[in-house]
Structure 1
Amino acid sequence: MLLRSTNIFALSLFAVCWSIIVASSPILIVPGVLGNQLQAKLNKDYAPHEWCSTHSDWYTVWVSVEQLAPYVIDCFLNNTRMLFNDGKYSNCEGVQIRAPGFGNTDTVEHLDAEDFLIPYMHDLVEFFTKHGYVKGVSLRAAPYDWRLSPDLLHQVGYYDDVQNLVETMYKDNNNTSVTIVTHSLGSPTTLYFLTQVVSQEWKDKYLKAFVPLSGVWKGAIKTLTSVISGNPEGIPLVNSLTARYLQRTTPTNYFLMPVTDHKIWSSTDPVVVTPERNYTVFDYQALFNDMKYPVGYSQYKVLPTFLTELAAPHVTTYCYYGAQVPTPSTLVYKEGQFPDTPPTILTGNGDGTVNDASLEACSVWKAAQQSRHVKLRGFPGVSHFGMVTNNDVLQAVLEIVTN
């Protein structure tokens, strides 16, 4: 009799635990810039050096320690840069770039394919699997070519793949609506999907919530360093000018520049200071001309402007972000430094990467979508990348998906 009672209790406990897991909203992760592996395939006639391949099957270009090694890095730069001609971006001739692992989490958990030395979403994925989530079923990811701005991702079919993946997750999880958890660039990338691609009827059926972490809603002043003097992003053996060579060709870096919005950025306070002139975010044409890189302004102007309006997603939304971390607010170039030498950086508030005014810009959605909850929450002391590893943040996301 005792054995039977024990079995009944065990079955009841299992049933309760299973009902909690089934009821939890499946999670789709959309990473940020640099936030998933990239692969290249070559079939071209030119290489900068004799040791660079011109023909290959798919191989990892981001992140590969071998690709970033001295001398070999020239091959990497030549293959991953983009061309800008007649107002359009394209890969170099004979080069294909793809984001492997769509639908799985492996290529966002670690950015290096071989040694697993560079973690990104690993802690987040581990956290949710410990709470009953199953990779490839209730916990999936949508990596993408993060060099591309949202309109270019639309052109290559990325959003069709995201829509199909959400619908598959919904069906595979007992018709349970999905929560999209994004980070950094992944947030405006997903906002484009929610406001420009899918219908309200589709969102009402398939989505439970939108949880942008460290959303770059109105750009970031730090991004300007990439296109002015280059930002090695902490990569050993890569100097600023080498980084700039690639960063000036990448649409994402122009898309993430501070948006020309008077409600967010001052028209009098400069973001770039040189001995000759000060520049606000409304002086981009002059800035690029004075950098002796006028084509940069053309590259900037062809990108989508939907972040100026910042249309509401019309999905229950939780804007979570780091706060009270010193963040670049003004780039100061001394005599002879502009634009080829890294600036002195003055700081203000934000998450260390994105300024607080940009992080908090999603507050306008409270009035725009009153029938769908919008909550903002800052996490003091948590950095931009700490938002995908900090336990308090992960617990807060867990409360959303299990509520």
Structure 2
Amino acid sequence: MVQTLVSAGLERNVSLRGAPYDFRYAPSSQVGADYIRSLKELIEQTASATGRRVSLVSHSMGCLQALYLLNQQSQAWKDKFIERWIPIAGPFGGAAKELKLHASGDAQGLPVDPLKIREEQRSYETNFWLAPVPRYFGSQVLVSTPSRNYTAADFEEFLGDIGYGAVGRRLWRRVANLTSALMPPGVPVTCMYSLGVKTPARFSYGPGGFDLQPQVEEGDGDGTVNDLSLRLCERWAEGNSAAKVVRFSGITHSGMLTDDRVLQSLLKELEDVQPQLVV
């Protein structure tokens, strides 16, 4: 994506700037709050240096970071500094696979035993920020065992049953309301996402408990984020001429960063608009 933007005429560190973050921390922690403050300052500095408002381009959890930032600012600030926001593959309602991560670890394609990294993964604020939001996942069963089923509304009980109750509940309560209300960002939005890729939707554990890997039932999404979560940004486009949705099919979550269809759509949205910040 960066190479495409540079080829289109943007200049690194001038009209094209990156804003990477420590993926372990949400804005509820000091590290996460410092990132949001630095991102705001970078936007202001970029706008001042170029004399133009900034377009924000974010991917995956970067969409939650950007939404949180925008929700914290006054409308006057957004009108002054933000041209538009383009969230790509945003997990706005969380992802079902986070429950499997907390229960039995997630190797995420790496040649490691998921149980060896489970405790580390459980300690990340962001893995609670990405948990399925009850108001959107509703009564959908996400985890089943021989003794009970769990929905997103049962998340705190689920944490206790997997042996991470006290600390897990504290982390969950710290991040649960950061962006879950999906308050309108207050800027023009072009939301991009893809469906049509098999995506983990439900996990079934046998009598061996949560230390064994579950059977996985798949649904629709982008391979990482479930369809209902990706679609949530559509609500900002309802009756709003400054917001729209661009949908793709068959592109994976990470593939949204490299697929030519997405990149060409991004260039079209950013035509004659500088500078850009990629989150």
Tell me the TM-score normalised to structure 2 length. Answer: 0.92
Question: 1:146 aligned to 6, 17, 23, which one?
Answer: 23
Say yes or no: does 1:279 pair with 2:150: yes
Question: 2:125 aligned to 245, 251, 260, which one?
Answer: 251
Question: 1:241 aligned to 105, 115, 120, which one?
Answer: 115
Query: What residue in structure 2 maps to residue 380 of structure 1?
Result: 249
8 A contact 2:25–2:31 mirrored in 1 = no
Say yes or no: does 1:220 pair with 2:95: yes
Distance 1:307 1:167, change over 3 A: closer
Distance 1:399 1:286 in 2: 46
8 A contact 1:151–1:304 mirrored in 2 = no
Matches within 5 A, 1:170-181: 170-173=47-50, 175-181=51-57
Distance 1:351 1:176, change over 3 A: same
What code does the residue aligned with 1:302 have?
R
Query: What residue in structure 2 maps to residue 128 of structure 1?
Result: 5
Give 3-state SS (helix, strand or coil) of 1:140's partner. Answer: strand
Say yes or no: does 1:343 pair with 2:219: no
8 A contact 2:199–2:219 mirrored in 1 = yes
As a proportion of its length, which structure holds more helix? 2
Shift of 1:153: 5.5
Distance 1:229 1:155 in 2: 26
State the Cα deviation string for residues 185-228 of structure 1 (Å, max 9, x = none).
000111000002x2211111211110000001000001111111
Distance 1:347 1:155, change over 3 A: closer
Query: What residue in structure 2 maps to residue 165 of structure 1?
Result: 42
Distance 1:247 1:155, change over 3 A: closer
Give 3-state SS (helix, strand or coil) of 2:134's partner. Answer: coil
Say yes or no: does 1:193 pair with 2:69: yes
Query: What residue in structure 2 maps to residue 6 of structure 1?
Result: none
Query: What residue in structure 2 maps to residue 84 of structure 1?
Result: none
Give 3-state SS (helix, strand or coil) of 1:129's partner. Answer: helix
What code does the residue aligned with 2:62 have?
G
Give 3-state SS (helix, strand or coil) of 2:45's partner. Answer: helix
Query: What residue in structure 1 maps to residue 260 of structure 2?
Result: 391
Say yes or no: does 1:292 pair with 2:173: no
Distance 1:153 1:318, change over 3 A: farther
Distance 1:285 1:171, change over 3 A: closer
State the Cα deviation string for residues 353-398 of structure 1 (Å, max 9, x = none).
000100011122234x73x511112210000000110111011111
Query: What residue in structure 2 maps to residue 109 of structure 1?
Result: none
Shift of 1:168: 1.9
The structure that has the greater radius of gyration is 1
Give 3-state SS (helix, strand or coil) of 1:378's partner. Answer: strand
Distance 2:42 2:182 in 1: 25
Give 3-state SS (helix, strand or coil) of 2:87's partner. Answer: strand
Work out the percentage of aligned pairs sharing the same amino acid: 36
Distance 2:243 2:119 in 1: 40
Distance 1:399 1:366 in 2: 18
Give 3-state SS (helix, strand or coil) of 1:166's partner. Answer: helix
Q: Which runs of 5+ in 2 are unaligned?
A: 273-279
Distance 1:192 1:156, change over 3 A: closer
Distance 1:292 1:188 in 2: 28
Shift of 1:307: 2.9
Matches within 5 A, 1:315-354: 315-336=187-208, 338-354=209-225
Q: Which runs of 5+ in 1 are unaligned?
A: 1-123
Distance 1:288 1:349, change over 3 A: same
8 A contact 1:147–1:252 mirrored in 2 = yes
Distance 2:160 2:78 in 1: 43
Question: 2:83 aligned to 195, 199, 208, which one?
Answer: 208
Tell me the TM-score normalised to structure 1 length. Answer: 0.65
Query: What residue in structure 2 maps to residue 356 of structure 1?
Result: 227
Distance 1:316 1:153, change over 3 A: farther
8 A contact 1:325–1:381 mirrored in 2 = yes
Distance 2:33 2:40 in 1: 14
Distance 2:59 2:170 in 1: 28
Distance 1:192 1:373, change over 3 A: same
Distance 1:156 1:150, change over 3 A: closer
CA RMSD of aligned residues (A): 1.6
Distance 1:155 1:250 in 2: 12
8 A contact 1:360–1:376 mirrored in 2 = no
